[in-house]
């Protein structure tokens, strides 16, 4: 057997120190087998390997095997010479690497290393698994160095480390291609289940007219709820959170509150659930109100709601915390209140550029975690400057960036006359104030208007006159 010209050990991962002298995880037999299969039947096996390993030479531990793999990839891309034994030798000769890898003798040895490629996918899995372990060694080593040499806040170091770990996971997972025949059967079964009310297309908000238009909050989608200040964005979001965390599915929600504290959010949930306005705490409070509050606490303690009240959160930090909660708690929904209070990771050229980066990061988070992200946003003042005071918001009214409109799968506007809820008598407050939830953009469904009633004393949005049993999951009645 021809000898490899120097050590098979791969290049050290950046940041590795003398913490360990042990060889990193690898399997040279599997590497040789993969290259042998590619050389013996390049028309089929090169594509199979690229599908499993991508075009990443670092999947191979041996720097010699990386050189050979890179030569094969070059021939595959250029398509001028066949990816066979002769073509690979020629490509290596052009790069001046042929002798470094052991010459024609080592290539010939690789060619005859396996007789069949029937186990090629298994060999690729071994390479991918060992690559993931090597990457994690590098991440952990760099984590130690960052902790010793940290020139930034500890939470930033933790965020950077968590992102690196998540990147390792993403870099070693391959996409699963499916034949349309299999996809057709799977989707048809899903459609049947939706029609038969066995499953929902997304997480139902509890507002059935909204769910009829959008299909609920769907995995991988960015759902925007926008309004002018003091219209009730947070109240509407909390109404939705209450519904979905206490329905029979008991969905798990991570709520980023950049404007209010965890205590303020919790108090508002208690008051809305108990139908006891906060104003009664200092006036006209009675024993029946305490009974209602106690009952609300009993109900809400069953909610799987996690609140992060960190102000001025950056998109990178938010992504890191959401990824962590997905791993630890398997959250089903992320809610952000609200987008314009967030920051981009680095100094942007303009606020529009910064908001575009934040919006893109939110959409990427939804796709990466395959869960919906409900993000609240502000509208600009133009919506109030028109001659018609009853004019409805438009997509152009989204504040600071058109990127939100571009990235979002669903854009809704919450609209009502703020003045109409001022100085209401208790009788009129009990009847509610007219409001509208406008589905202005819906990439995968219908647009339309949901007529609502806003009850300011309870900070509650109901549907057309009152909050009926049809407008929230049945098991909550």
Q: In degrees, to the nearest 5, what angle opens at C-alpha 368 toward C-alphas 365 and 370?
A: 95
438 - beta bridge partners?
413, 449
- Does residue 273 carry a catalytic annotation? no
The phi, psi pair for 339, rounded to 5°, reads -60, -45
Contacts of 449 (CB under 8 A, 6+ apart): 436, 437, 438, 439
Distance CA 61, CA 7 (A): 11
Signed CA dihedral, 349, 355, 358, 362: sign only: negative
Q: Across the chain, how many H-helices and E-strands are there? A: 17, 9
**In terms of Cα–Cα distance, which of 299, 300, 274 is closest to 286?**
274
Per the CB < 8 A criterion, the answer to whether 215 and 202 are in contact is: yes
415 - beta bridge partners?
436
How many Cα atoms sit within 13 Å of 186 on the Cβ side? 6
**In terms of Cα–Cα distance, which of 401, 410, 402, 398 is closest to 448?**
410
Contacts of 92 (CB under 8 A, 6+ apart): 67, 68, 71, 98, 101, 107
Per the CB < 8 A criterion, the answer to whether 265 and 337 are in contact is: no
Catalytic-role residue among 259, 354, 427, 440: 259
**Active site residue ranges:** 259
């Amino acid at each position: 057997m021809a000898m490899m010209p120097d050590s098979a050990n791969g290049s050290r991962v950046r940041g590795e120190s003398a913490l360990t002298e042990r060889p990193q995880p690898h399997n040279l037999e599997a590497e040789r087998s993969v290259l042998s299969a590619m050389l013996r039947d390049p028309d089929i096996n090169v594509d199979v390997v690229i599908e499993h390993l991508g075009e990443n030479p670092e999947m191979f531990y041996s720097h010699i095997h990386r050189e050979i793999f890179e030569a094969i990839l070059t021939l595959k891309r250029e398509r001028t010479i066949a990816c066979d034994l002769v073509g690979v030798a020629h490509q290596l000769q052009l790069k001046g690497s042929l002798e470094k890898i052991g010459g024609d003798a080592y290539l010939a040895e690789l060619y005859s290393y396996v007789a069949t490629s029937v186990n090629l996918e298994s060999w690729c899995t071994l390479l991918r698994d060992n690559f993931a372990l090597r990457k994690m060694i590098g991440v952990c080593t760099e984590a130690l160095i960052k902790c010793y040499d940290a020139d930034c806040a500890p939470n930033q170091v933790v965020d950077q480390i968590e992102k690196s770990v998540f990147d390792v996971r993403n870099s070693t997972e391959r996409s699963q291609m499916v034949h349309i025949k299999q996809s057709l059967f799977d989707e048809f079964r899903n459609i049947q289940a939706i029609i038969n009310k066995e499953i929902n297309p997304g997480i139902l908000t509890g507002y059935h007219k909204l769910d009829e238009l959008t299909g609920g909050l769907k995995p991988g989608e960015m759902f925007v709820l926008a309004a002018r200040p003091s219209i009730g964005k947070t109240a509407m979001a909390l109404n939705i959170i209450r519904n979905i965390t206490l329905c029979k599915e008991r969905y798990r929600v991570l709520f980023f509150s950049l404007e209010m504290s965890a205590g303020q959010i919790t108090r508002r949930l208690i008051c809305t659930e108990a139908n006891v306005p906060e104003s009664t705490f200092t006036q006209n409070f009675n024993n029946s109100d305490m009974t209602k509050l106690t009952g609300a606490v009993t109900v809400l303690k069953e909610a799987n709601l996690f609140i992060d009240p960190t102000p001025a959160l950056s998109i990178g930090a938010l992504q890191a915390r959401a990824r962590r909660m997905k791993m630890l708690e398997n959250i089903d929904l992320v809610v952000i209140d609200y987008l314009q209070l967030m920051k981009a990771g680095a100094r942007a050229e303009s606020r529009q550029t910064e908001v575009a980066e934040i919006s893109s990061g939110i959409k990427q988070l939804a796709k990466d975690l395959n869960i919906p992200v409900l993000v609240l946003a502000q509208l600009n003042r133009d919506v109030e400057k028109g001659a018609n005071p009853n004019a409805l918001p438009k997509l152009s009214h989204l504040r600071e960036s058109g990127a939100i409109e571009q990235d979002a799968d669903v854009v809704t506007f919450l609209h009502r006359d703020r003045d109409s809820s001022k100085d209401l008598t208790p009788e009129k407050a009990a009847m509610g104030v007219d409001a509208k939830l406008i589905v202005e953009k819906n990439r995968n469904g219908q647009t339309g208007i949901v007529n609502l009633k806003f009850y300011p004393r309870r900070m509650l949005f109901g549907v057309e006159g009152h909050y009926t049993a049809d407008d929230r999951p049945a098991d909550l009645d």
